[in-house]
Amino acid sequence: MAHLVLAGGGHAHLTTLLNIPAFREKGHRVTLVSPTDYHYYSGMGPGMLAGLYRPEDLRFHIRKMATDRGADFIQAEALRVEADKRLLILDSGKAIKYDVLSFNIGSKVSYGPIGEGDPAIFPVKPIQNLIRLRQKALDLIRTRDLPGFVVVGGGPAGLEIAGALHQLSKEAQKPVKITLLAAGRLMERFPEKVRQKALKSFEQRGIRVEEGAALTAVKNGFAITGKGQEIEASCTVLAWGVKAQELFARSNLPTGPDGNLLVNKYLACKNHPEIFGGGDCIYFADRPLDKVGVYPVRQNQVLFENLLAAVEGQKPKPFDPGGPYLLIFNLGNKKAILVKNGKVFSGKWAFWLKSFIDRRFMKRFQVSGEISSAKT
């Protein structure tokens, strides 16, 4: 009997969690390690912040998924791996012996030059932070005249959070000041038409965009940029990109240039073929992948099949990242920008399509209850 340990219950592990009986029927033991009972779907996070979804609409009950199907669940955070001994060390001090280990622990948002501990500063990851951010924003809107929100990051996360905060203030019928700081150009990795549509939407709603403005500090209620600007910040949201978890470097496992676990075409660690990974926490050696949700979703089935093959001593199958993918950016006002094959569209229908795709994904993996419809 082999012991499969799943570290993290993210998008790339969901098919494996649903198919735990396939391992149990062959006599294998499965353990899920996660610091929380739930995994939140990041694609719906800004919609929840805006009030379009409830928190429970975008979470998977991964503890229930695991235990209902005969797996063990340990509430803890993976700290490091002793690969030569096949041990996963947890923050509780406990060591778990594994035969096959798979990581889906995501990434995190760095505080950068900003010190941790300020209750008015919110990294966008983990997604649970957006639940706290929503409450903080509502409190500020209710208790202050014209509170200032600063969103740091000119990529998709910054775009969607800024739009969601505006929608939140609109629903509360109280004005706020929202400033988005982009170290470079807004949405610079995407076609220029995306940037222009986003800028137009933000201009119409009074959302200020400062390009070429890198955040250097937050002091005394002001966000300070490298250009010397001081912008009122009752609340600051860090959406300036993700960084790797320290676990892999701490464990002396092979990593890519971004610090994530280096995996081959089988989603397995080159030096340790019994260690697998998926989602944001891996660096795919064959072809570096963008940090977008489509790839962990595409990895789901292959990762499940390869983990089953590994515990059975069989040959794994290669992962094909696939071709172009659809991107839809939620503008926060029940409109969205859609990008596919270099073509750019926008409107209410694009948001409706995003909402439909997101809710369908949630229904596929939720194990109890039904998600409520988006307010489309």
Cα–Cα distance measured from residue 163 to residue 180, given in angstroms and rounded to the nearest whole number:
10
Question: Do 3-35+76-108+242-312 and 121-241+326-365 come out as alike in CATH topology?
Answer: yes
Residue-level pLDDT at 369: 46
Going by C-alpha positions, the residue among 164, 151, 189 that lies closest to residue 44 is 164
pLDDT > 90 fraction of the chain, expressed in percent and rounded: 90
Mean pLDDT across 111-135 = 92
Q: What tokens does 139 get? A: 């409190």
Listed in sequence order, the residues at least 6 apart from 99 whose beta carbon sits closer than 8 Å to its beta carbon are: 2, 3, 4, 86, 274, 311
Among the residue ranges 79-93, 101-115, 193-207, the one predicted with the least confidence is 101-115
For residue range 140-150, what is the model confidence (pLDDT) as tens digits? 999 999 999 99
Domains in the chain: boundaries = 3-35+76-108+242-312, 121-241+326-365
Residue-level pLDDT at 368: 57
Residue-level pLDDT at 224: 96
For residue range 220-256, what is the model confidence (pLDDT) as tens digits? 999 999 999 999 999 999 999 888 999 999 999 999 9
Bridge partners for 279 per DSSP? none
In the predicted model, is pLDDT for residue 263 greater than 60? yes
In the predicted model, is pLDDT for residue 371 greater than 50? no
Residue-level pLDDT at 370: 39
Residue-level pLDDT at 110: 87
CA 46 to chain centre: 11
Q: What is the CATH class of 121-241+326-365?
A: alpha beta
In the predicted model, is pLDDT for residue 376 greater than 80? no
Tell me how many helices (H) and strands (E) the chain has. 10, 23
Report the 10 Å Cβ neighbour count for 12: 29
Mean pLDDT across 12-28 = 97
Helix (H, G, I), strand (E, B) or coil at 297: helix
Residue-level pLDDT at 372: 41
Contact (CB, 8 A) for 176 and 169:
yes
Residue-level pLDDT at 242: 87
Among the residue ranges 141-155, 254-268, 361-375, the one predicted with the least confidence is 361-375
Among the residue ranges 116-120, 152-156, 363-367, the one predicted with the least confidence is 363-367
Mean pLDDT across 135-163 = 97
Q: In which band, very low, low, confident or very high, does the pLDDT at 373 lie, cut at 50, 70 and 90?
A: very low
Report the 10 Å Cβ neighbour count for 335: 18
pTM of the predicted protein model = 0.93
Highest mean pLDDT among 109-118, 225-234, 358-367: 225-234
E strands, 145-269, in order:
148-152, 177-182, 208-211, 215-219, 222-225, 230-232, 235-238, 261-263
In the predicted model, is pLDDT for residue 304 greater than 90? yes
pLDDT > 70 fraction of the chain, expressed in percent and rounded: 97
Report the 10 Å Cβ neighbour count for 117: 7
Q: How many residues does the chain have?
A: 376
Residue-level pLDDT at 365: 87
Report the 10 Å Cβ neighbour count for 373: 11
Listed in sequence order, the residues at least 6 apart from 187 whose beta carbon sits closer than 8 Å to its beta carbon are: 154, 155, 156, 159, 194, 195, 198, 329
Mean pLDDT across 151-170 = 97
Q: Provide the CATH number for the domain formed by 3-35+76-108+242-312 in this structure.
A: 3.50.50.60
Place of tokens 């949630």: 362
In the predicted model, is pLDDT for residue 75 greater than 60? yes
Q: In which band, very low, low, confident or very high, does the pLDDT at 374 lie, cut at 50, 70 and 90?
A: very low
In the predicted model, is pLDDT for residue 270 greater than 60? yes
Check residue 239 and report its DSSP letter: -
Q: In which band, very low, low, confident or very high, does the pLDDT at 115 lie, cut at 50, 70 and 90?
A: confident
Mean pLDDT, all residues of the chain: 94
Q: What tokens does 122 get? A: 């919110």
Mean pLDDT across 273-298 = 94
